[in-house]
Amino acid sequence: MGQGMATGKPFGESAAKVVSKVFSTESANIKASCSWGQEVATFAAGCFWSVELSFQRVPGVASTRVGYTGGSVPHPSYEEVCTGRTGHAEAVEIKFDPSIVTYPELLTILWDRHDPTQKDRQGNDRGTQYRSAIFYHSPEQKLQAEAAIKEEQKRRSMPIVTQLVPATTFYEAETYHQQYLEKGGQCARKGDLTPIRCYG
């Protein structure tokens, strides 16, 4: 666990622009405190610790939580998911304000934070629970994700294997997994571009 693609990796130029985009702190704080107008995005991209921290730093992201989705066993534990027999992926659920950060911009962060051409693995983390996946919550998100995959493929020499599937039940992971890297001392401040160190 924890040796995925984000380890020590600086943000790419496009992703850095999203993370450090200029916004009104006062306005963002007000909107982040309200549930109205928020949308939900769910992504899987390897170890969920580093993926979550990447999105915690994005202006317009109101909250994140890590968990398990896409499987067949209800209320799985981390240990069960690690066997690869439940069918779940480690994933991050993101609540965001689309007036500050758009869904396509979140997809830019997703591509930057992992290698979507690796099947059932990221770095040294191997297994179906580490697969690359986009769980869309609306027809619009599906269309935007399809367009983003097509565009990202132009920049890749290998085929993108990211699954694009409807969002299903999201089971929140154990408390100790939530904001794991932030609790370990890494910065989650909006706009921070410090390379993320993943460990575990």
> Could you count the other beta carbons within 10 Å of the beta carbon of residue 66?
21
The residue type found at 68 is: Y
Residue from 34, 47, 187, 198 carrying the catalytic annotation:
47
The structure tokens listed for 172 are 């929140």
> Could you count the other beta carbons within 10 Å of the beta carbon of residue 79?
8
Question: H or E segment at 121?
Answer: strand 121-122
Look up 187 and say whether it is catalytic: no
d(CA 127, CA 140): 30
Catalytically annotated residues: 47
